[in-house]
Structures are given as C-alpha cells and as structure tokens.
Amino acid sequence: MKTHKLKILPKYMSAQLSGVKTFEIRKNDRNYQVGDRLLLREWDGEKYTGRETMVFITYITDYKQKNGYVVLATNAFWPLDV
C-alpha cells in the first residue's frame, strides 16, 4: 500500500470533505492500486492552504477516460486539519 500526495483545488476539496465527491480522475502515472491512500492537499493555484484529507482507493476504472487516465473511487479515511 502506497500513499500518494496530490494537489486538489478548493472546490473539489470541499466536495471530498463533505462526502459528495467520492472519486478522483487522475493521470495514471503513479501505478495506483486498490488499497492505496491519497493524501489530498488543498492547492489554491499558488500555494497550499493547509487543509488536507486522506482517502483510500476502493476501485479503479479507465472506462470512457482519456488515454492514460483513470477514475479512482475513494472512501474517506480520516480528515487531517479540516
């Protein structure tokens, strides 16, 4: 199991934290695997805001995605400094 540190924009971070957004669409350049963790770190376009959360990957598909991209189904693991 790996932990991947990823930037996430504020509107997507808020949706992840509220539980409305339970997926990430990402370029598969990190060999994502079910069970891996994503440390989502809020990025406002210039700097990290300090908000972060950890989720884990529960399912992966590339159905109808651009070449090299995947949909990562996520489940909240725990909030860090929300």
Q: Which CATH architecture has domain 3-80?
A: Roll (2.30)
**54-76 per-position pLDDT tens digit:** 999 999 999 999 999 999 999 97
What was the pLDDT predicted at 80? 52
With 50 as the cut, is the pLDDT of residue 82 above it?
Answer: no
Query: What's the Rg (C-alpha) of the chain?
Result: 12
Three-state secondary-structure class, residue 18: helix
| Nearest alpha carbon to residue 53 among 41, 37, 68 | 41
Judge if pTM exceeds 0.75.
yes
- Average pLDDT over every residue of 31-43: 96
With 80 as the cut, is the pLDDT of residue 78 above it?
Answer: no
